Amino acid sequence: MLVETETIRLADVGVHVMVVVASQVIYLWANTQPLLGALTMAMPSRLDATPLGMVLKRGLDDDLAESFAKRLARKFGVQVFVSCELPRELADLREGVEKRLTDTVKGIVERPDVQAALFPAAEPEAAQAS
């Protein structure tokens, strides 16, 4: 499991971002304060191009968190949890906020060490048989 943290500036507001990557799972937390906001989950569907998603914990930004989780699940093909609650002054910049967060997550997830954690190599069949 890998944990990456950073602070990004959006419209002169510092947004703290934490990305946790484990086998086949990405967890993204983004907030201006150390609080758990809306918590959503999405995962790719074998039956539809649109990932399945649901709100696990209600918050001020359920729609943002759920749409963002679905977008990331579609992009990376894994289960994604998103906890996101951003201040009202960023509401008008929603598209830019999502793009900036997506770029941040993409930059982390596409690193070789993170790819190895996200998609661990399958164990050889001989090792599984013993």
User: In whole angstroms, what is the distance from residue 73 CA to residue 93 CA?
Assistant: 22
24-63 burial code (b ≥16 CB/10 A, e <16): ebbbbbbbbeeeebbbbbbbbeeeeeebebeeeeebebbe
pLDDT tens, residue by residue, 54-82: 999 998 778 888 999 999 999 999 999 99
pTM for this entry:
0.84
* Under 8 Å between Cβ of 13 and 32: yes
User: What domains are there in the chain, each with its CATH number?
Assistant: 2-121 (3.30.230.100)
- Res 73: pLDDT: 95
Percent of the chain whose predicted confidence (pLDDT) is above 90: 38
* Under 8 Å between Cβ of 83 and 33: no
- Res 57: pLDDT: 93
pLDDT tens, residue by residue, 8-30: 888 888 889 999 999 999 999 99
